[in-house]
Amino acid sequence: MAIQPEHGQLLQNFSLGTQIRDYLIKKRTEGLEKNEINSFQVHKKGIGNALFFYSPFLLPDIIPSINQLLKSIENSETILLYGDRDTDGVSSTAILYHFLKKEFPNIRLEATTSSKNEAYGLCPEALLKIHKFKPNLLITLDFGTSNAIEINDLAKQGIKTIVIDHHEIPSQTIDSCLLNPKRIDSIYPEKKICTSFLAWKLSLSILFFNSPEYNKVYRISKNQKSTFYKNGIAIDDSSDSNFFDFEVNLSNDKDNSSNNELIPDEQILFFEQLKKIPDLFKKLTTLSSLAGIGTITDMMPLIGENRSMVRLACDYLTELSGNIDTPSLPGIKMILIHTGLLDKKITSKDLGWGIGPLLNSAGRMGNTEIAFDLLLAETDSSAENKIKELIKTNEERKERTKRNVFKTERFFQRHIDLTEKPILFCYEPDLEPGVSGIVATKLVETFQKPAIFITPDHGQARGSIRSCGAENVLDLLKEADGMLNQYGGHPEAGGFSVEIHRIPELQEKIYELSIEWLKNIKSPLKTITSDLKVSGQDLNKNLFNVLEYLEPTGHGNPPILLSLEKAKLMNYTFMGNGKHARFKVMGAGSLKFIIWNEAEKMSRLVSIQESLDLWGNLELNTFQGKSNLQFVISQYS
């Protein structure tokens, strides 16, 4: 897919930083819902971000899930938490484990995750593990939605199940508690919310359920009209005369950028109810770090309450960085220490590029328990041992990725004709398992088309598929379902397993199906327009402070794209064995410009052109306690 970059609004058209900020917010929030816009326009700090959270009681099966869980605790039944192997699965399981252990000290609670050579979901290996624990109640996290048959069989054996998940809903649904906002009958406003956030919301709802605020009716009167609310949800006119009048007023809020006119009444009311519950935020703020990490690593759109959760997580981790005495999970504190993040302001990029991949590496390498044990650690000493083991595992993951990428490059050099197919398909017997998703993503970036990457894994084969744009990969996998052992995932990224002897047959089938699959996808040329066109002298700390208002950035809210026209490059220096380069631009002072992975290609252009147009992001780079601005190039011409 070709990319055509264009220049956007000229920075010099604005005289004040607030004008730039307001312009960028308006640009980013076009077409969004009210609550999604509010999270940009009303800047909160810390737990104040909970103002933008929807009531968890809007989630389907939330009350039956709470009742079932509390009943099992009261009856001293064995409860098993079972999470998926990725970061969201591990984080969500850790959230619920820590919450339940602290809130119910006598609970009979066990926890585990998928690992080793287990397939996704309630596969035979997972069911065998479950029976060894002999639970009365099973809670699956980040999987289970598509396991109706297995869950119904468990019910016949006397094992009750609660599924906490956010994956797509299949035609056959489970006959059990299913906490999934994508359910057809769900009235929850946000559909794209990760399992870690759902686990956090379930924890919040339990505290609320056990408080005097539960089912209390409030009345808000405005313009001679009364509206009644219960548990953060508008209800019909109350037939119960026992209600409480509530005046919407945030005038005492210390955050002078708040504006209660932009926040729905029910969210203000519910937030005020939450503040009445002793220690509620104290109990949940620490766990917000894991919910934020899960949100980022599972590529949830950073708008609305997802944006607010990540802000809450970053604010908390920044406070933890600046104050070692701030209450924390030992595992999270050790991650900050050993990744060099303890002395800096934590951003969404740190969650997505530093902490998330580190936790995810354990599952990729078939040792999920390393990351899981780290997050469940209750002492610094036990966390110290696990973080060292996890860092070593992550280094092994990086080396395996490099080997697979090298082998993949050689594969397509030998089979150049396969690069002309509508979708890339790669399988070699000597490829190594565990990092297929990373390699598939790199293939998409290199060839600008959807990609499938398959590796042998314990007697069968497992693969990952990644989209290049608007394609829904689950639609393609569904068409090939008869050849796959199982499949799942999201529209942008999926995984599957297949018998090795069927791979050639699958390859031809995929080529055949992809023609129709891609027929209506029209994206041969993608135009990227910068948010602002700047000069070199504009790239300073003042502009960075304005751009920081749009944080957290990521999926659904990308970093602000800046462009420079006719930039003259100086002091071009290669880095990283010639793959990367740094340089300066005339008129931009000492600011460093960085280009990743395309240094040689850019160098050839520099040698024949007097100047280049540049597109990229202004970032704050912190190294050994010192922070400096840098401009990272994403496009050039």
Q: How far, CA to CA in Å, does 573 sit from each of 407, 483, 570?
A: 29, 50, 9
pLDDT at 620: 87
Percent of the chain with pLDDT over 90: 66
At a CB cut-off of 8 Å and minimum separation 6, what does 323 contact?
A: none
- Classify the C-alpha dihedral 597-599-600-601 as positive or negative: positive
The whole-angstrom separation of Cα 111 and Cα 83 is: 8
The structural domains of the chain, ordered by start, are 60-187 (3.90.1640.30), 217-263 (no CATH), 415-523 (3.10.310.30), 527-636 (2.40.50.460)
* Cβ atoms of 456 and 429 closer than 8 Å: yes
Q: Is the pLDDT of residue 222 over 70?
A: yes
Q: Is the pLDDT of residue 581 over 50?
A: yes
* Cβ atoms of 383 and 374 closer than 8 Å: yes
Q: How many CB atoms lie within 10 A of CB 127?
A: 14
Top mean pLDDT of 118-122, 222-226, 247-251, 583-587 is at 583-587
Identify the band that residue 241 occupies on the pLDDT scale cut at 50, 70 and 90.
Answer: low
Identify the band that residue 573 occupies on the pLDDT scale cut at 50, 70 and 90.
Answer: very high
Mean pLDDT of 420-442: 92
The whole-angstrom separation of Cα 132 and Cα 115 is: 16
pLDDT at 260: 54
pLDDT at 376: 96
pLDDT tens digit sequence for 90-148: 999 999 999 999 999 999 999 999 987 777 789 888 999 999 999 999 999 999 998 99
Identify the band that residue 367 occupies on the pLDDT scale cut at 50, 70 and 90.
Answer: very high
Closest to 200 (Cα-Cα) out of 295, 271, 105, 109: 295
Q: Is the pLDDT of residue 1 over 90?
A: no
pLDDT at 29: 87
pLDDT tens digit sequence for 163-188: 999 988 887 778 889 999 999 999 99
Q: How many CB atoms lie within 10 A of CB 251?
A: 6
| Phi-psi region at 366: left, alpha or beta (left = phi > 0; alpha = psi -120 to 50) | left
**Which stretch of DSSP H or E encloses residue 583?**
strand 580-585
Top mean pLDDT of 32-41, 244-253, 575-584 is at 575-584
**Rounded mean pLDDT of the chain?**
90
Identify the band that residue 68 occupies on the pLDDT scale cut at 50, 70 and 90.
Answer: very high
Buried b (16+ CB within 10 A) or exposed e, 260-293: eeebbbbbbbbbbbbeebeebbebbbbbbbbbbb
pLDDT at 256: 41
The whole-angstrom separation of Cα 87 and Cα 297 is: 7
Higher pLDDT, 122 or 326: 122
pLDDT at 89: 95
pLDDT tens digit sequence for 369-409: 999 999 999 999 999 999 999 999 999 999 999 999 999 99
Q: Is the pLDDT of residue 308 over 90?
A: yes
pLDDT tens digit sequence for 534-556: 999 999 999 999 998 889 999 88
Q: pTM for the complete prediction?
A: 0.90
User: Scanning the structure block, which residue is given the tokens 């602002």?
Assistant: 532
Residue 110 backbone phi and psi in degrees, to 5 = -125, 155
At a CB cut-off of 8 Å and minimum separation 6, what does 248 contact?
A: 220, 222, 260, 265, 268, 269
